Structure 1
Amino acid sequence: MARVSQAHLDARRRQILDGAARCFARNGFHATSMQDVLREAGLSAGAVYRYFSSKEELIEAIADEAFDTIRTAFAEAARESPPPLPDAIIGRVVRQVYAGPGGTPEGGRPAFPRLILQVWAETLRNERLSATLDEGYATLRATWIEVVESYQRAGLVRADVPADDIARILIATVQGFIAQQALFGEVDVEVLQRGLRALMSMDIGDRSS
């Protein structure tokens, strides 16, 4: 029997995860059955269960991948010297993650916003997923803090505001944009970038409050 290549195994795993992500984004975790995933991926039960023994394993794998994509994208931006401004970093990262788990299903709208809302909700009842989210958030905060500190050293951001405060707001901006996409319909990422650029250009003069 011919040996199956690693590339084939990786492609099959990708096929399963993309199919599951589309199902979860469309119908939610709990309304999606493994049979739904099999149909969406176009694979037999044996082919899927070779990689994932349960729906819970699929959920955790998709969440891990989504968080890892976000962490990696921000870490790459943080390594640039000097780092890009927030609108450029956030625009780049959002575009990368929207091209990730689930791809672009029917209708041309990215699956990621609806999928990530499902993940956030699931963390409230799934301890393992919650631990993954906590770890990812801590790593993301640490990365943004490094970026903000670079801005402060360059005189681009006020040094009297804790870097962690600014990092939390930047993360919240991305979270809010994702929630808008999922709940109210697609908005071009350029809208987010233009809004950030406008806020960054505000001149508050000597006002301190």
Structure 2
Amino acid sequence: MARVSQEHLDARRRQILEGAARCFARNGFHGTSMQDVLKEAGLSAGAVYRYFPGKEDIIAAITEETFATIRGAFEEAARVSPPPTPDVLLSRMLARVLGEQLYGLERRTFAALAVQLWSETLRDARLAAQLDEGYATMRGVWAELVGAYRSAGILSGDVVADHVARTMIATAQGFIVQEALFGDVRPDVPENGLRGLMSMGPQKAS
């Protein structure tokens, strides 16, 4: 019997994940059955269960890959030297995340899937652990950026690095939620908005 190539195995696993992601984005995790996944992927039960014992394992795989995509976008944007200011960095990060078309999903559909995954971490300890790991990594990346901003003389030394990190992560998450709910989140929106806030100075006395 001929051995199945790794390329074939990877392609079949991708086929399952893409089919499941379309189902989850359309009907939610709890509104999607394994039968729905089988039909969407166009595969038999035996073919799917060879890769994933159950729906929760598919969700975990999608969660890991989605969070890795978001985390990777932060890390890639932050690797530029000298580091761009937060308005530019956030714009680049969102452009990559929303333009990735992971699982072949349109940007708004992918954003909706990400929001569902975040919500699911509130009830699933395994998914919560994946989120915690990624969140800690992104906070570390941003804490390092704060040091670079200080060295460049563009950030006050008394600002707590982790506070900056958490604020930027929350801003990115907020725009992903906006894309899921309303659409039309273009990279220039957060860039211009942040640049405007960053330009504010002390109020002049009348």
Question: What is the TM-score when the length of structure 2 is the normalising length?
Answer: 0.89
Going from structure 1 to structure 2, the CA distance change for 1:113 and 1:148 (only over 3 Å counts) comes to same
Per the alignment, residue 102 of structure 2 pairs with 101
- Most deviating of 2-11 and 88-97: 88-97
Per the alignment, residue 7 of structure 2 pairs with 7
- Residue 205 of structure 1 deviates from its aligned partner by 4.3
**Regions of 4+ moved over 3 Å:** none
Per the alignment, residue 86 of structure 1 pairs with 86
After superposition, the C-alpha distances for 1:68-121 in whole angstroms (9 at most, x for unaligned) are: 12222222333332122223322232233332533335xxx4322111111111
Per the alignment, residue 113 of structure 1 pairs with 111
Is 1:18 aligned with 2:18? yes
Distance 1:44 1:91 in 2: 42
**Count of residue pairs brought into register by the alignment:** 203
Aligned partner of 2:173 among 155, 175, 182: 175
* Structure 1 portions without partners, runs of 5+: none
Task: Give the 3-state SS of the residue equivalent to 1:51 in structure 2.
Answer: coil
Per the alignment, residue 72 of structure 2 pairs with 72
Per the alignment, residue 147 of structure 2 pairs with 149
Distance 1:92 1:117 in 2: 20
RMSD: 1.9
- Residue 7 of structure 1 deviates from its aligned partner by 1.6
After superposition, the C-alpha distances for 1:155-202 in whole angstroms (9 at most, x for unaligned) are: 1222211111111111110111111111223322332222223223x1
- Residue 20 of structure 1 deviates from its aligned partner by 1.1
* Structure 2 portions without partners, runs of 5+: none
- Residue 139 of structure 1 deviates from its aligned partner by 0.8
Question: What is the TM-score when the length of structure 1 is the normalising length?
Answer: 0.88
Distance 2:165 2:101 in 1: 24
CA contact (8 A) 1:23 1:36 kept: yes
Distance 1:180 1:110 in 2: 9
Going from structure 1 to structure 2, the CA distance change for 1:43 and 1:186 (only over 3 Å counts) comes to farther
Per the alignment, residue 185 of structure 1 pairs with 183
After superposition, the C-alpha distances for 1:123-164 in whole angstroms (9 at most, x for unaligned) are: 111111111111111111111111122112111222211111
Task: Give the 3-state SS of the residue equivalent to 1:157 in structure 2.
Answer: coil
Output the amino acid matched with 1:103: G
Per the alignment, residue 137 of structure 1 pairs with 135
Identity across the alignment (%) = 61
